[in-house]
Amino acid sequence: MARQRESVGWRVTNGWTVVEADGEIDIAFAPLVRAAVDGLLADGHRHFVLDLCSAPFLDSTGLGMIVAVTKHIQSRHGSLRLACADPGLLRVFSLGGLRPVYSFHDSVEQAAAQPPGADELADWPHVRRRRQR
């Protein structure tokens, strides 16, 4: 079986730089996504939506890349939202303990509906504390 050809594209919508990760976000593809975000940060982009809507797969390497990208965006006083409605991908975030840390949206349109706010990652990671019984 031939492997899907991965690509990383981007566009600006309502002040957000939407990075489209169209491929399996694994050990081979995650570095390409990270390089794209790093390059966009170097070019002055600060507020990102990572579009995972077309990603069929995400592994621990992909999760690590997203954390690394988040730290880099935070160091530049930017913000990050994730567009992902796939239950399988969301489960990977849950298993990795990252589901409560990120702002998830069902679509890019939903994620970019409001312009970026100041300091969205200022207190990252903003893990919601569980209630103690």
Q: How many residues comprise the chain? A: 133
pLDDT at 125: 62
Half-sphere exposure at residue 96, Cβ-oriented, CA atoms within 13 angstroms? 20
**Token pair of 33, please?**
């996504």
Quick one: what percent of the chain has pLDDT higher than 70?
83
Stretch among 10-14, 15-19, 37-41, 125-129 having the lowest mean pLDDT: 125-129
pLDDT tens digits along 4-22: 457 899 999 999 999 999 8
CATH of 7-111, one of 3.20.20.70, 3.30.750.24, 3.40.50.11540, 3.40.50.10300: 3.30.750.24
pLDDT tens digits along 74-106: 999 999 999 999 999 999 999 999 999 999 999
Query: Cβ atoms within 10 A of the Cβ of 90, count?
Result: 16
Report how far residue 96's alpha carbon sits from residue 110's, in angstroms, rounded to the nearest whole number: 24
Q: Which residues contact 25 (CB under 8 A, 6 or more apart)?
A: 33, 52, 55, 57, 58, 59, 61, 62, 65
pLDDT at 1: 40
Of 2, 58, 4, 69, residue with least CA distance to 27 = 58
Q: Quick check: 3 pLDDT over 70? A: no
List the domain boundaries for the chain: 7-111
Q: Quick check: 45 pLDDT over 80? A: yes
- Determine if the pTM surpasses 0.75: yes
53, 86 in Cβ contact below 8 A? yes
